[in-house]
Structure 1
Amino acid sequence: MRTLYLDCFSGISGDMFIGALIDAGGDSTFLEEELQKLNISEEYKLSWKKVVKNGISSTKFDVELSETADHKYASGHQHNHKHEDEDVDHNHEHEHEHSDHHHKHEHSDHHEHSHHHSHRAYQDIVKLIERSQLSQKVKETSLNIFRKIGEAEGLIHGISLEKVHFHEVGAVDSIIDIVGASILINKLEIQKIKSSPVCVGAGKVHIDHGIYPIPAPATLEILKGVPLQQSNIKSELTTPTGAAIVSVLSEEFCTVPSMTVQSVGYGAGTKDFEKHPNVLRVIIGEEA
């Protein structure tokens, strides 16, 4: 049984997950080609590079929004469920939210676009994925992850799933994170996914409605049923997208299973901690 084990000792985000899979041997060229099937390639640019985190060589994956996306989603970013703010200590390794954050501040002069453009609702994302030429398996995995986040957001805000407008998760970079994760898992022929308990961090975080304890409300809602791991790091280590990936895909939460290890990958976060490597470790191998 080909198994993927997620070692979330420094949390998890979509970009860390993709970086780790590429680092473990995932086909980055295939990933780029498959993502073009979403027909939104003019809205983003992908990049990945090797970085060293506290002595560990790892892969940093980024989604850079193009000007097309910047203008198209200016309105959406005025109402975002923000997980970071300049005066809050936040683990900025999570590029899907990190990019959103900078978009909001760098493009504050585009507020006039707010009334002319709409950001993607849950139903828009479902249509985008369903209409693509991606394989049925990739579509199903992606939609399951998005549904998990949509239901959590709906519950937190007291609205139905159909009325959920995705915030940072509706941004192009998060669509890429979630669909990209599904593409790589399918391509790597992973049959089973297991995970360690998930580290979420500590401290407080800024969102639209004020200052909240970590994990933020949507993240915590998504992580229902998932064992959490205590951390003294004052930073948000797990994002809603990362939480949804591990929650939806993991069949079991445990220590490293009995397996013959075939490859190991490290997906890097942006932020550096003094005595803590900010990476997601993945192990791919054969379970008896």
Structure 2
Amino acid sequence: MRTLYLDAFSGISGDMFLGALLDLGLDFNALKQELAKLPVSGYQLTQARLAKSSIYGTSFDVVLATGKDHGFVEHHHHHDHGDHHHDHAARHLRDILALIESSALSATVKSRSQAIFTAIAQAEATVHHLPVTEVHFHEVGALDSIVDIVGCCVGLELLNIDTVQASPLSDGSGFINVAHGQMPVPVPAVMQMRVGTQIPIHQRLDVHTELITPTGMGLVKTLVHDFGPLPAEITPIKVGYGFGKRDTGGFNALRAVLFEKKNSVIN
């Protein structure tokens, strides 16, 4: 039995999660082959093993042909005054769920990915006071998130992970600037996903930026079943680090520890 422990001392995002899995030994080519089963194009995956604070880890990124565009946005029903956010340039939740369902990915990867997207969309719908059917991604942001989220689920399957545990999560404080103005940290979607759960979040007042992204919180809410200290009764077999992109003023990484419990043999 294999357990993945996420040590989220500097938060969590999709690219940090995948970077950590790659650092643990996830086969990059196998990941790309599985993601190629999705009926989407216009992206490339990159990985680089490098050192931060003299600690080696892996930086993972989804490079898009049209640049980055993160985040869910609300649908406004108007198309005048130069507004180019038409339906054809966006993916709603139902489109993303159908896209995943139509792929040749495994049933487990499909169900986990769909559950993560649904959790994020429901949170964004509540924050923006919209029906969940009207929440959508810009086309580019959707692609980035589809690859991150499905990639994380693929990685867990390829590494034969049975259960996922985590430390209490750390987030920053203050505000971040987005297209529609300022958002408080933790960002509203992250706070909303915490509602009704026992997910522990420690807010670091020394870090003035976002550490937990909505994608990262969606991964945690859907995949992690237990929060606490490092497991004491099973054997760690490998440690990996996935680096984040934000400048936090400190060591910005997700540490992932792979544990394995050998099945006892009864003679």
Fold agreement, TM-score > 0.5: yes
Q: What is the RMSD of the two structures over their aligned residues, measured on CA atoms?
A: 2.4
Change in 2 beyond 3 A, CA 1:48/1:16: same
More strand as a share of residues: 2
Return the offset for 1:168: 8.6
1:261-286 CA distance string (max 9 Å, x none)? 11111001123444x21100000112
The answer for the alignment partner of 1:65 in structure 2 is 64
Q: Which structure has more helix as a fraction of its residues?
A: 1
- 2:100–2:114 Cα contact (<8 Å) kept: yes
Using the size of structure 2 for normalisation, the TM-score is 0.87
Q: In the alignment, residue 195 of structure 1 is paired with which amino acid?
A: A
Distance 2:190 2:139 in 1: 12
Matches within 5 A, 1:121-270: 121-167=92-138, 170-224=141-195, 225=197, 226-231=199-204, 232-258=206-232, 259-270=234-245
Q: Aligned partner of 1:283: which letter?
A: V
User: Where does residue 43 of structure 2 map in the other structure?
Assistant: 44
- Unpaired segments ≥5 residues, structure 2: 75-81, 263-267
- Distance between the aligned counterparts of 2:88 and 2:52, measured in 1? 39
Asked if the contact 2:91/2:139 (under 8 Å) is kept, the reply is no
Letter in 1 for 2:200: P
Cα deviation 1:108-153 (Å, max 9, x = unaligned): xxx7865584211111100100000001010011001101101101
Query: Does structure 1 retain, via aligned residues, the 8 Å contact 2:168–2:202?
Result: yes
The match for 1:14 is: 14
Query: How far apart in 2 are the matches of 1:157 and 1:114?
Result: 17
Contact 2:4–2:164 (8 Å) recurs in 1: yes
* Residue identity opposite 1:8 in structure 2: A
Q: Does 1:278 align with 2:249?
A: no
Q: Residues 115, 176 of structure 1: CA spacing in aligned structure 2 closer, same or farther, 3 A cutoff?
A: closer
Deviation at 1:9, TM superposition (A): 0.2
1:93 paired residue number: none
Structure exhibiting the larger radius of gyration computed from Cα positions:
2
Q: TM-score, normalised by structure 1?
A: 0.81
The more displaced of 179-188 and 197-206 is: 197-206
What are the ranges of 5 or more consecutive residues in structure 1 without an aligned counterpart?
Answer: 83-110
What amino acid does structure 2 have at the position aligned with 1:13? Answer: S
- 1:14-60 CA-to-partner distances (Å, cap 9, x unmatched) read 000000000011111110000000021x3101100012111211100
Rate the CA distance shift 1:116–1:183 in 2: closer, same or farther, 3 A.
closer
